Chain A
Amino acid sequence: MNILRIPSRLFAAMEQDLRRPHAFAAERVGFLYARAASTAATDTILCAIDYTPIPDAQYIDDPSVGARIDAEAIRIAFQHVLSKKLSAFHVHEHPWPGHPNFSTIDRREMAKVMPSFHHLCLGMPHGAIVLSPESARAVMWRPGPKSPEPVDAITIIGSPIRKYLYE
Protein backbone atom coordinates (compact mmCIF):
# COMPACT_ATOMS: atom_id res chain seq x y z
CA MET A 1 0.00 0.00 0.00
CA ASN A 2 1.32 3.44 -0.96
CA ILE A 3 -0.03 6.37 1.01
CA LEU A 4 0.66 10.08 0.66
CA ARG A 5 -0.45 12.27 3.56
CA ILE A 6 -0.75 16.02 3.08
CA PRO A 7 -1.60 18.40 5.94
CA SER A 8 -4.73 20.36 5.07
CA ARG A 9 -3.02 23.76 5.36
CA LEU A 10 -0.30 22.70 2.96
CA PHE A 11 -2.87 21.27 0.57
CA ALA A 12 -4.92 24.47 0.67
CA ALA A 13 -1.82 26.57 -0.05
CA MET A 14 -0.96 24.27 -2.94
CA GLU A 15 -4.47 24.46 -4.41
CA GLN A 16 -4.52 28.22 -4.08
CA ASP A 17 -1.23 28.51 -5.94
CA LEU A 18 -2.20 26.14 -8.73
CA ARG A 19 -5.43 28.04 -9.41
CA ARG A 20 -3.73 31.37 -10.00
CA PRO A 21 -3.88 32.34 -13.67
CA HIS A 22 -0.67 32.56 -15.67
CA ALA A 23 0.04 34.97 -18.50
CA PHE A 24 0.35 32.22 -21.13
CA ALA A 25 0.44 28.77 -19.46
CA ALA A 26 -2.93 26.99 -19.37
CA GLU A 27 -1.95 25.27 -16.13
CA ARG A 28 0.32 26.02 -13.22
CA VAL A 29 2.64 23.45 -11.75
CA GLY A 30 4.58 23.08 -8.54
CA PHE A 31 6.52 20.57 -6.51
CA LEU A 32 5.29 18.92 -3.34
CA TYR A 33 8.03 17.45 -1.17
CA ALA A 34 7.58 14.55 1.21
CA ARG A 35 9.50 12.47 3.66
CA ALA A 36 8.95 8.78 4.33
CA ALA A 37 7.19 7.80 7.54
CA SER A 38 7.46 4.14 6.66
CA THR A 39 9.12 2.16 3.94
CA ALA A 40 8.15 -1.31 5.01
CA ALA A 41 8.21 -4.07 2.44
CA THR A 42 4.53 -3.76 1.69
CA ASP A 43 3.73 -0.17 2.67
CA THR A 44 5.25 3.14 1.66
CA ILE A 45 3.94 6.07 3.64
CA LEU A 46 4.99 9.55 2.64
CA CYS A 47 4.32 12.71 4.63
CA ALA A 48 4.23 15.93 2.66
CA ILE A 49 6.11 18.72 4.38
CA ASP A 50 6.63 21.44 1.80
CA TYR A 51 5.30 22.85 -1.45
CA THR A 52 7.15 25.21 -3.73
CA PRO A 53 5.42 26.95 -6.61
CA ILE A 54 7.15 27.56 -9.93
CA PRO A 55 7.77 31.30 -10.41
CA ASP A 56 6.03 32.83 -13.42
CA ALA A 57 9.33 33.57 -15.15
CA GLN A 58 10.29 29.88 -15.17
CA TYR A 59 7.48 28.85 -17.50
CA ILE A 60 8.17 28.38 -21.20
CA ASP A 61 5.56 29.54 -23.68
CA ASP A 62 4.60 26.28 -25.40
CA PRO A 63 0.98 26.13 -26.63
CA SER A 64 1.26 22.40 -27.34
CA VAL A 65 1.16 21.55 -23.63
CA GLY A 66 -0.69 22.85 -20.58
CA ALA A 67 2.51 24.01 -18.92
CA ARG A 68 6.22 23.70 -19.60
CA ILE A 69 8.85 24.74 -17.09
CA ASP A 70 12.46 25.63 -17.77
CA ALA A 71 15.72 24.04 -16.67
CA GLU A 72 16.10 26.40 -13.72
CA ALA A 73 12.80 25.22 -12.23
CA ILE A 74 13.94 21.62 -12.53
CA ARG A 75 17.35 22.45 -11.09
CA ILE A 76 15.76 24.05 -8.02
CA ALA A 77 13.63 20.97 -7.48
CA PHE A 78 16.72 18.76 -7.83
CA GLN A 79 18.53 20.90 -5.27
CA HIS A 80 15.65 20.54 -2.82
CA VAL A 81 15.62 16.78 -3.20
CA LEU A 82 19.38 16.46 -2.90
CA SER A 83 19.92 18.75 0.07
CA LYS A 84 17.00 17.53 2.16
CA LYS A 85 16.69 13.92 0.95
CA LEU A 86 13.02 14.28 0.08
CA SER A 87 10.60 12.75 -2.34
CA ALA A 88 9.39 15.18 -4.97
CA PHE A 89 5.97 15.14 -6.57
CA HIS A 90 5.23 17.27 -9.60
CA VAL A 91 1.75 18.72 -9.11
CA HIS A 92 -0.79 20.28 -11.42
CA GLU A 93 -4.55 20.62 -11.53
CA HIS A 94 -7.21 19.92 -14.11
CA PRO A 95 -10.01 22.42 -13.60
CA TRP A 96 -12.87 20.12 -14.63
CA PRO A 97 -14.83 18.06 -12.08
CA GLY A 98 -14.57 14.34 -11.52
CA HIS A 99 -11.64 12.01 -10.96
CA PRO A 100 -8.50 13.49 -12.52
CA ASN A 101 -6.24 11.44 -14.76
CA PHE A 102 -2.75 11.82 -16.11
CA SER A 103 -2.58 12.55 -19.79
CA THR A 104 -0.26 10.72 -22.15
CA ILE A 105 1.95 13.80 -22.24
CA ASP A 106 2.00 13.93 -18.41
CA ARG A 107 3.19 10.34 -18.15
CA ARG A 108 5.73 10.70 -20.93
CA GLU A 109 7.31 13.85 -19.54
CA MET A 110 7.45 12.58 -15.94
CA ALA A 111 9.00 9.30 -17.01
CA LYS A 112 11.82 11.33 -18.60
CA VAL A 113 12.66 13.30 -15.48
CA MET A 114 12.20 10.62 -12.80
CA PRO A 115 15.54 8.86 -13.37
CA SER A 116 17.34 12.12 -12.59
CA PHE A 117 15.48 12.48 -9.28
CA HIS A 118 16.34 8.92 -8.36
CA HIS A 119 19.96 9.55 -9.16
CA LEU A 120 19.96 12.37 -6.60
CA CYS A 121 18.14 10.65 -3.80
CA LEU A 122 18.62 6.92 -3.97
CA GLY A 123 15.86 4.86 -2.45
CA MET A 124 13.23 7.58 -2.30
CA PRO A 125 10.23 7.39 -4.60
CA HIS A 126 9.29 10.41 -6.68
CA GLY A 127 6.14 11.03 -8.58
CA ALA A 128 3.36 13.18 -9.81
CA ILE A 129 0.01 14.37 -8.54
CA VAL A 130 -2.92 15.62 -10.55
CA LEU A 131 -5.77 17.39 -8.83
CA SER A 132 -9.32 18.23 -9.77
CA PRO A 133 -11.67 20.50 -7.83
CA GLU A 134 -13.00 17.46 -5.95
CA SER A 135 -10.37 14.74 -6.10
CA ALA A 136 -6.73 13.86 -6.49
CA ARG A 137 -4.60 11.11 -7.96
CA ALA A 138 -0.94 10.33 -7.71
CA VAL A 139 1.57 7.91 -9.11
CA MET A 140 5.13 7.28 -8.07
CA TRP A 141 8.25 5.81 -9.52
CA ARG A 142 10.58 3.77 -7.38
CA PRO A 143 14.25 3.53 -8.37
CA GLY A 144 14.68 0.90 -11.03
CA PRO A 145 11.27 -0.08 -12.40
CA LYS A 146 10.29 1.91 -15.44
CA SER A 147 6.56 1.81 -14.80
CA PRO A 148 4.92 3.96 -12.15
CA GLU A 149 2.82 2.52 -9.38
CA PRO A 150 -0.35 4.08 -8.03
CA VAL A 151 -0.43 5.94 -4.77
CA ASP A 152 -3.32 3.99 -3.29
CA ALA A 153 -4.53 6.79 -1.06
CA ILE A 154 -3.94 10.51 -0.80
CA THR A 155 -5.08 11.60 2.64
CA ILE A 156 -5.57 15.27 3.46
CA ILE A 157 -4.94 15.54 7.19
CA GLY A 158 -7.38 17.94 8.78
CA SER A 159 -10.88 18.21 10.15
CA PRO A 160 -12.45 16.35 8.48
CA ILE A 161 -9.98 13.95 6.93
CA ARG A 162 -10.31 13.72 3.15
CA LYS A 163 -9.18 10.52 1.55
CA TYR A 164 -8.83 10.02 -2.17
CA LEU A 165 -8.49 6.41 -3.20
CA TYR A 166 -6.83 5.43 -6.45
CA GLU A 167 -9.65 3.98 -8.51
Chain B
Amino acid sequence: MQSLSLDRRYESTFMNERYRNQTFLGPNADHQIATTRLGIVGVGGGGAHIVQQTAHLGFQNYVICDPDVVEDRNLNRLVGATVSDLGKPKISVARRVIKGVQPDAIIEAFQGRWEDHREQLATCDVIVGGLDSFAARRDIEAFTRRALIPYIDIGMVVKTIDPHPPRLSGQVVLSMPGHLCMQCLEFLTEKVLAEEAADYGDAGPRPQVVWSNGILASAAVGISVDLVTGWSKSLPPVVYLTFDGNKGLLLEDRRLAYRDITRPCPHYPLEQAGKPQFRKV
Protein backbone atom coordinates (compact mmCIF):
# COMPACT_ATOMS: atom_id res chain seq x y z
CA MET B 1 0.00 0.00 0.00
CA GLN B 2 1.50 3.31 -1.04
CA SER B 3 1.38 6.15 1.43
CA LEU B 4 0.00 9.40 0.18
CA SER B 5 1.45 11.39 3.03
CA LEU B 6 4.19 13.81 2.18
CA ASP B 7 7.47 12.34 3.30
CA ARG B 8 8.98 14.70 5.83
CA ARG B 9 12.26 14.58 3.97
CA TYR B 10 10.70 16.65 1.23
CA GLU B 11 10.29 19.52 3.61
CA SER B 12 14.03 19.90 3.97
CA THR B 13 15.75 23.06 2.96
CA PHE B 14 17.72 21.12 0.37
CA MET B 15 14.60 20.04 -1.50
CA ASN B 16 13.02 23.48 -1.30
CA GLU B 17 16.19 24.97 -2.77
CA ARG B 18 16.06 22.55 -5.65
CA TYR B 19 12.65 23.83 -6.71
CA ARG B 20 13.19 27.53 -6.08
CA ASN B 21 13.07 28.17 -9.82
CA GLN B 22 9.54 26.81 -10.06
CA THR B 23 7.91 28.63 -7.17
CA PHE B 24 5.71 30.42 -9.71
CA LEU B 25 3.74 27.14 -9.84
CA GLY B 26 2.24 28.05 -6.49
CA PRO B 27 3.02 27.81 -2.76
CA ASN B 28 1.79 24.20 -2.55
CA ALA B 29 3.08 23.05 -5.92
CA ASP B 30 5.98 21.01 -4.57
CA HIS B 31 3.62 19.09 -2.29
CA GLN B 32 0.98 18.68 -4.98
CA ILE B 33 3.53 17.34 -7.46
CA ALA B 34 5.20 15.09 -4.90
CA THR B 35 1.93 13.52 -3.80
CA THR B 36 0.60 12.90 -7.31
CA ARG B 37 0.67 9.31 -8.46
CA LEU B 38 1.61 9.46 -12.12
CA GLY B 39 1.01 6.66 -14.59
CA ILE B 40 3.15 6.48 -17.72
CA VAL B 41 2.09 3.95 -20.30
CA GLY B 42 4.85 3.44 -22.83
CA VAL B 43 8.35 4.67 -22.00
CA GLY B 44 9.67 4.64 -25.53
CA GLY B 45 10.42 7.73 -27.56
CA GLY B 46 7.74 9.96 -26.08
CA GLY B 47 7.44 8.39 -22.66
CA ALA B 48 11.18 8.60 -22.02
CA HIS B 49 10.98 12.39 -22.18
CA ILE B 50 8.02 12.37 -19.82
CA VAL B 51 9.92 10.21 -17.34
CA GLN B 52 12.92 12.53 -17.46
CA GLN B 53 11.03 15.79 -17.15
CA THR B 54 8.63 14.69 -14.42
CA ALA B 55 11.52 13.41 -12.35
CA HIS B 56 13.21 16.79 -12.55
CA LEU B 57 9.97 18.53 -11.64
CA GLY B 58 9.66 16.57 -8.43
CA PHE B 59 7.18 13.78 -9.12
CA GLN B 60 7.77 11.03 -6.57
CA ASN B 61 5.23 8.35 -7.24
CA TYR B 62 5.08 6.39 -10.50
CA VAL B 63 3.36 3.48 -12.15
CA ILE B 64 5.14 2.64 -15.41
CA CYS B 65 4.32 0.03 -18.03
CA ASP B 66 6.20 -0.98 -21.15
CA PRO B 67 6.74 -4.45 -22.59
CA ASP B 68 9.76 -3.68 -24.74
CA VAL B 69 13.50 -3.96 -24.42
CA VAL B 70 16.01 -1.42 -25.67
CA GLU B 71 17.17 -2.05 -29.21
CA ASP B 72 19.86 -0.26 -31.14
CA ARG B 73 17.28 1.39 -33.37
CA ASN B 74 15.73 2.99 -30.25
CA LEU B 75 18.89 4.91 -29.45
CA ASN B 76 18.02 7.60 -31.99
CA ARG B 77 15.37 8.85 -29.53
CA LEU B 78 15.22 6.98 -26.22
CA VAL B 79 16.50 9.66 -23.85
CA GLY B 80 18.32 8.24 -20.87
CA ALA B 81 19.28 5.04 -22.68
CA THR B 82 22.86 4.17 -23.55
CA VAL B 83 24.52 1.38 -25.51
CA SER B 84 24.93 -0.54 -22.26
CA ASP B 85 21.13 -0.74 -22.03
CA LEU B 86 20.78 -2.78 -25.21
CA GLY B 87 18.62 -5.80 -24.49
CA LYS B 88 17.44 -4.43 -21.14
CA PRO B 89 13.82 -3.55 -20.44
CA LYS B 90 12.91 0.05 -21.22
CA ILE B 91 11.40 0.30 -17.76
CA SER B 92 14.88 -0.21 -16.28
CA VAL B 93 16.07 2.89 -18.11
CA ALA B 94 13.07 4.81 -16.83
CA ARG B 95 13.69 3.64 -13.29
CA ARG B 96 17.34 4.68 -13.46
CA VAL B 97 16.50 8.13 -14.84
CA ILE B 98 13.96 8.78 -12.10
CA LYS B 99 16.12 7.43 -9.28
CA GLY B 100 19.07 9.46 -10.47
CA VAL B 101 17.15 12.65 -9.65
CA GLN B 102 14.66 11.36 -7.07
CA PRO B 103 16.38 8.57 -5.12
CA ASP B 104 13.39 8.16 -2.79
CA ALA B 105 10.77 7.97 -5.53
CA ILE B 106 8.23 5.16 -5.31
CA ILE B 107 8.25 3.40 -8.66
CA GLU B 108 6.07 0.48 -9.66
CA ALA B 109 7.45 -0.51 -13.04
CA PHE B 110 6.05 -3.38 -15.08
CA GLN B 111 7.62 -4.93 -18.14
CA GLY B 112 4.42 -5.85 -19.84
CA ARG B 113 1.22 -4.66 -21.41
CA TRP B 114 -0.63 -1.99 -19.47
CA GLU B 115 -3.75 -4.13 -19.77
CA ASP B 116 -2.18 -6.64 -17.42
CA HIS B 117 -1.64 -3.99 -14.74
CA ARG B 118 -4.99 -2.24 -14.60
CA GLU B 119 -5.29 -2.52 -10.85
CA GLN B 120 -2.03 -0.60 -10.34
CA LEU B 121 -2.83 1.99 -13.01
CA ALA B 122 -6.27 2.52 -11.50
CA THR B 123 -4.58 4.02 -8.45
CA CYS B 124 -3.01 6.84 -10.52
CA ASP B 125 -4.14 10.45 -10.39
CA VAL B 126 -3.05 11.18 -13.96
CA ILE B 127 -1.98 8.84 -16.76
CA VAL B 128 0.15 9.86 -19.74
CA GLY B 129 0.33 7.58 -22.73
CA GLY B 130 2.60 7.30 -25.72
CA LEU B 131 1.08 4.27 -27.36
CA ASP B 132 1.65 3.02 -30.86
CA SER B 133 -1.82 2.56 -32.27
CA PHE B 134 -5.26 4.13 -32.43
CA ALA B 135 -6.77 0.93 -31.06
CA ALA B 136 -4.49 1.08 -28.03
CA ARG B 137 -5.49 4.70 -27.48
CA ARG B 138 -9.14 3.80 -27.68
CA ASP B 139 -8.65 1.06 -25.11
CA ILE B 140 -6.70 3.10 -22.62
CA GLU B 141 -9.08 6.01 -22.90
CA ALA B 142 -11.97 3.66 -22.16
CA PHE B 143 -10.10 2.41 -19.10
CA THR B 144 -9.25 5.88 -17.78
CA ARG B 145 -12.82 7.06 -18.35
CA ARG B 146 -14.19 4.19 -16.30
CA ALA B 147 -11.67 4.87 -13.54
CA LEU B 148 -12.22 8.66 -13.68
CA ILE B 149 -8.56 9.38 -14.37
CA PRO B 150 -7.48 12.27 -16.60
CA TYR B 151 -5.52 10.88 -19.53
CA ILE B 152 -2.98 12.73 -21.66
CA ASP B 153 -2.13 11.22 -25.02
CA ILE B 154 0.80 12.02 -27.26
CA GLY B 155 1.85 10.65 -30.58
CA MET B 156 3.53 11.48 -33.83
CA VAL B 157 3.33 10.19 -37.37
CA VAL B 158 5.25 10.72 -40.59
CA LYS B 159 3.44 10.32 -43.87
CA THR B 160 5.06 10.26 -47.24
CA ILE B 161 3.12 10.82 -50.44
CA ASP B 162 5.41 11.00 -53.42
CA PRO B 163 6.60 13.35 -54.84
CA HIS B 164 6.04 15.58 -51.82
CA PRO B 165 8.37 15.85 -48.81
CA PRO B 166 7.42 13.80 -45.75
CA ARG B 167 4.79 15.34 -43.51
CA LEU B 168 5.57 15.12 -39.81
CA SER B 169 2.61 15.62 -37.50
CA GLY B 170 1.46 14.76 -34.02
CA GLN B 171 -0.99 15.47 -31.25
CA VAL B 172 -1.36 16.12 -27.56
CA VAL B 173 -4.81 15.43 -26.15
CA LEU B 174 -6.12 15.86 -22.62
CA SER B 175 -9.04 13.46 -22.16
CA MET B 176 -10.85 14.54 -19.00
CA PRO B 177 -13.59 12.25 -17.66
CA GLY B 178 -16.96 13.86 -18.14
CA HIS B 179 -15.73 16.05 -20.98
CA LEU B 180 -15.12 15.55 -24.70
CA CYS B 181 -13.22 12.37 -25.49
CA MET B 182 -10.93 11.51 -28.39
CA GLN B 183 -13.97 10.31 -30.34
CA CYS B 184 -15.80 13.58 -29.68
CA LEU B 185 -12.74 15.43 -30.95
CA GLU B 186 -12.70 13.20 -34.04
CA PHE B 187 -9.13 12.20 -33.36
CA LEU B 188 -10.31 8.61 -32.92
CA THR B 189 -12.79 7.64 -35.60
CA GLU B 190 -14.17 4.39 -36.94
CA LYS B 191 -12.36 5.19 -40.19
CA VAL B 192 -8.87 5.43 -38.72
CA LEU B 193 -9.46 2.37 -36.57
CA ALA B 194 -10.63 0.39 -39.60
CA GLU B 195 -7.70 1.59 -41.71
CA GLU B 196 -5.30 0.64 -38.95
CA ALA B 197 -6.85 -2.79 -38.63
CA ALA B 198 -6.62 -3.26 -42.39
CA ASP B 199 -2.92 -2.37 -42.34
CA TYR B 200 -2.16 -4.78 -39.50
CA GLY B 201 0.83 -6.86 -40.40
CA ASP B 202 2.00 -4.43 -43.06
CA ALA B 203 3.26 -1.82 -40.61
CA GLY B 204 7.00 -1.54 -40.59
CA PRO B 205 9.03 0.49 -38.09
CA ARG B 206 7.14 3.66 -37.33
CA PRO B 207 9.10 6.83 -38.09
CA GLN B 208 10.06 8.66 -34.92
CA VAL B 209 12.59 11.36 -34.14
CA VAL B 210 13.74 12.73 -30.82
CA TRP B 211 12.92 16.39 -31.33
CA SER B 212 9.26 15.94 -32.15
CA ASN B 213 8.86 13.44 -29.34
CA GLY B 214 10.41 16.03 -27.07
CA ILE B 215 8.04 18.78 -28.15
CA LEU B 216 4.96 16.63 -27.68
CA ALA B 217 6.14 15.16 -24.40
CA SER B 218 7.05 18.57 -23.02
CA ALA B 219 3.57 19.84 -23.80
CA ALA B 220 2.09 16.80 -22.07
CA VAL B 221 4.25 17.38 -19.00
CA GLY B 222 3.19 21.02 -18.92
CA ILE B 223 -0.44 19.96 -19.00
CA SER B 224 0.20 17.43 -16.23
CA VAL B 225 1.77 20.07 -14.00
CA ASP B 226 -1.06 22.49 -14.66
CA LEU B 227 -3.61 19.78 -13.90
CA VAL B 228 -1.96 19.05 -10.59
CA THR B 229 -1.10 22.58 -9.47
CA GLY B 230 -3.61 24.75 -11.33
CA TRP B 231 -0.85 27.33 -11.65
CA SER B 232 -2.06 28.95 -14.88
CA LYS B 233 -5.69 29.13 -13.69
CA SER B 234 -6.55 28.75 -17.37
CA LEU B 235 -6.14 25.09 -18.28
CA PRO B 236 -9.37 24.04 -19.99
CA PRO B 237 -10.83 20.60 -19.34
CA VAL B 238 -10.32 19.72 -23.00
CA VAL B 239 -6.98 20.16 -24.73
CA TYR B 240 -6.27 19.13 -28.29
CA LEU B 241 -3.01 20.34 -29.73
CA THR B 242 -1.95 19.52 -33.26
CA PHE B 243 1.71 19.43 -34.18
CA ASP B 244 2.92 20.50 -37.60
CA GLY B 245 6.42 19.07 -37.53
CA ASN B 246 7.38 20.56 -40.87
CA LYS B 247 6.79 24.08 -39.57
CA GLY B 248 7.61 23.37 -35.96
CA LEU B 249 4.22 24.55 -34.74
CA LEU B 250 2.18 23.13 -31.88
CA LEU B 251 -1.21 24.81 -31.90
CA GLU B 252 -4.72 24.24 -30.69
CA ASP B 253 -6.55 22.11 -33.24
CA ARG B 254 -8.64 24.42 -35.39
CA ARG B 255 -11.74 22.26 -35.01
CA LEU B 256 -11.80 22.87 -31.27
CA ALA B 257 -13.01 26.41 -31.86
CA TYR B 258 -16.21 24.98 -33.31
CA ARG B 259 -16.90 22.56 -30.49
CA ASP B 260 -18.78 23.19 -27.30
CA ILE B 261 -16.19 21.96 -24.81
CA THR B 262 -18.62 22.34 -21.94
CA ARG B 263 -20.97 19.61 -23.10
CA PRO B 264 -20.61 16.18 -21.53
CA CYS B 265 -19.16 13.32 -23.52
CA PRO B 266 -21.89 11.07 -24.93
CA HIS B 267 -19.47 8.16 -25.50
CA TYR B 268 -18.53 7.73 -21.84
CA PRO B 269 -21.50 8.78 -19.71
CA LEU B 270 -20.76 9.19 -16.03
CA GLU B 271 -23.16 6.45 -15.00
CA GLN B 272 -20.89 3.97 -16.76
CA ALA B 273 -17.88 4.82 -14.59
CA GLY B 274 -16.51 2.03 -12.48
CA LYS B 275 -16.11 -1.62 -13.32
CA PRO B 276 -18.47 -2.96 -15.98
CA GLN B 277 -21.41 -4.73 -14.45
CA PHE B 278 -23.81 -7.30 -15.78
CA ARG B 279 -27.41 -6.40 -15.20
CA LYS B 280 -30.29 -8.80 -15.22
CA VAL B 281 -32.98 -7.75 -17.70
Contacts and interface: CB of A to CB of B under 8 A. Distances in A.
Do A and B interact? yes
Interface of A: 1, 3, 5, 7-10, 34-38, 40, 42-43, 45-47, 49-50, 85, 152-153, 155, 157-161, 163, 165, 167
Contact of B274 (A9, A36, A43): A36
Contacts of B146: 37, 47
Interface residues of B, number: 37
A45 B35 contact: no
A161 B118 CA distance: 21
Contacts of A35: 273-275, 277
A80 B149 CA distance: 25
A151 to B, nearest CB: 11
A152 to B, nearest CB: 6
Given A7-B148, A38-B123, A163-B35, A157 B277 contact: no
Interface in B70-91: none
B126 A165 contact: no
Chain B interface secondary structure, helix, strand, loop or mixed? loop
Contact of B4 (A1, A8, A160): A1
Contact of A7 (B119, B230, B270): B270
A128 B144 CA distance: 25
19 contacts: A1-B2, A1-B4, A7-B148, A7-B178, A35-B277, A37-B273, A38-B119, A38-B123, A38-B147, A45-B122, A46-B274, A47-B274, A49-B270, A157-B178, A159-B227, A160-B227, A161-B227, A163-B125, A167-B5
Given A1-B1, A163-B32, A8 B147 contact: no
A140 to B, nearest CB: 15
A160 B235 contact: yes
A113 to B, nearest CB: 23
Contacts of A34: 274
B176 interface: yes
Contacts of A47: 146-148, 273-274
Contacts, number: 98
B54 to A, nearest CB: 15
Contacts of B264: 9
B211 to A, nearest CB: 28
A165 B270 CA distance: 24
Contacts of B148: 5, 7, 37, 47, 157
Contacts of A10: 270
B35 A165 contact: yes
A153 B275 contact: no
Interface string B112-155: 00000011001101100000000000000000001111100000
A42 B120 CA distance: 10
Contacts of A3: 123
B147 A45 contact: yes
B112 to A, nearest CB: 17
A112 B64 CA distance: 42
B150 A43 contact: no
Contact of B123 (A36, A43, A85): A43
